[in-house]
Amino acid sequence: MAMTEGDPWFARPTGDLLGFTTGAAAAGVRDGTPTRLDVALIVSDRPCYAGGVFTTNQVIAAPCVVTRRHLERGPLRAIVVNSGNANACTGEQGERDAIAMAKAAADKIGCDLHEIAVASTGVIGVALPIERITSAIASIDLRSDGWDDVARAMMTTDTRPKLSRHDCVLGWAGASGTIHVRGVAKGAGMIHPNMATMLAFVLTDAVVGANLTGLTRSFAAESFNRISIDGDTSTNDTLLLLANGASGLKAEGKDRYGVQDALFRTCDELAQEILADGEGVTRVFKVVVRNAASDEEAMLAARAITTSNLVKTAIHGADPNWGRIIAAAGRSGAKVDQTRAAIRIGDVNVFESGAPCAFDKARMREIFTEPGLRIRIELGVGKGKAEAWGTDLSEEYVRINADYTT
């Protein structure tokens, strides 16, 4: 559960994230956009413990390959990212270009290239204009307040930058003070559970232990992996968590729960920002599954519902077509006892004990105009539960992706 103002660790975000600087530049990665920010750097003034989660797609972009390798070597100092070109399916040259980006960043800040994480997003199958990118990296003006520029440089079909910040008061384990967490992300299409065309970087100045990969996986499972826009999984998905310890405050004892909560809230807020900014999205909906055989089966059903094109188009049309919902759950692989199953849209029961329910159509129309549309389905076989989020599917989504070269 996220912290609120009454919790002992809660702090309103105020100060700067200690020990990190950021900046962006225009490399002209996209033809015809020479002044658009498209290359960015996030730099720590000291080595960071780091964790990462990457695409589950079997076709993996060169930046993910290189960054995984660098994470295995040890701490990181910086993240370099470009938009407009995914550097995916670009052969051996693609990996050389990803390494060249790392080297340019390393040369700029004075560290080993293995201390650099690399990320890219954009069109697949086109070689990077690597000379322009490395030149832009060298020109970046690093400063403490460059987060908005970084977020804008990461954007592709996004309509707005995605940023999150949370602070946390420590003091249970000894020295007291405030640690800071900042997050930046991009994503609007090809968003599907298990990481999708999504880049997200979460940074903290807390002193956190070396095993951040486990934490990163846990945060991904509870935030980014629970959202879906179009059911497509990208070649470039990357979630990175970096902790540089510049605050000198340790996440120990009870304090570690506060730090972990601040980190999770940052991930969750970024995930919801991505969902709300989905390509052509007019409605976001939450699916709550209860009484499944297990939590795993509950998630199977939740994901099947959020990714069903028939459900998504019904949501877009404000059509309470519960038949599509029960059908999606039934094909998900989760056990369903239709004689005990139930479906509620908003606060209205539409299906119960194997039969439809009469409902007030005027109230249902109101529900579809209210923010935070919620669908609850009970499978009637156990105590498993899960939640996931999805979006509608609109004509605008088709237009955007029909015109976007991939």
| Backbone Cα Rg of the chain | 22
Classify each residue of 239-257 as buried b or exposed e, where b means 16 or more C-beta atoms within 10 Å of its C-beta.
bbbbbbbbbebbbeeebbb
Catalytic residues: 197
CB–CB of 336/298 below 8 Å?
Answer: no
Task: Find, among 72, 77, 41, 30, the residue nearest to 54 by Cα.
Answer: 72
Joined together, the tokens standing for residue 286 give 């939450």
Side-chain half-sphere exposure of 326, counting CA atoms within 13 A = 24
Cβ–Cβ < 8 Å for 77, 109 = yes
| Dist CA 93 CA 312 (whole Å) | 39
Tokens of 100: 């060249």
Give the whole-angstrom CA distance, residue 77 versus residue 71: 11
- 35, 102 Cβ separation under 8 angstroms: no
Would you call 19 helix, strand, or coil by DSSP? coil
Give the pair of three-digit tokens for residue 106.
Answer: 């390393």
Dihedral over alpha carbons 330, 331, 335, 340 (to 10 degrees): 0
Dist CA 110 CA 117 (whole Å)? 15
Specify the DSSP class assigned to residue 231: S
Please list, residue by residue across 270-288, b when 16 or more beta carbons sit within 10 angstroms of its beta carbon and e when fewer do: bbbbbbbbbbbbebbbbbb
Q: Which of 161, 163, 224 is nearest to 197 (CA)?
A: 224
- What is the per-residue DSSP string for 40-92? EEEEEEEEEEEEEEE---SS--HHHHHHHHHHHH--EEEEEEEEEE---S-HH
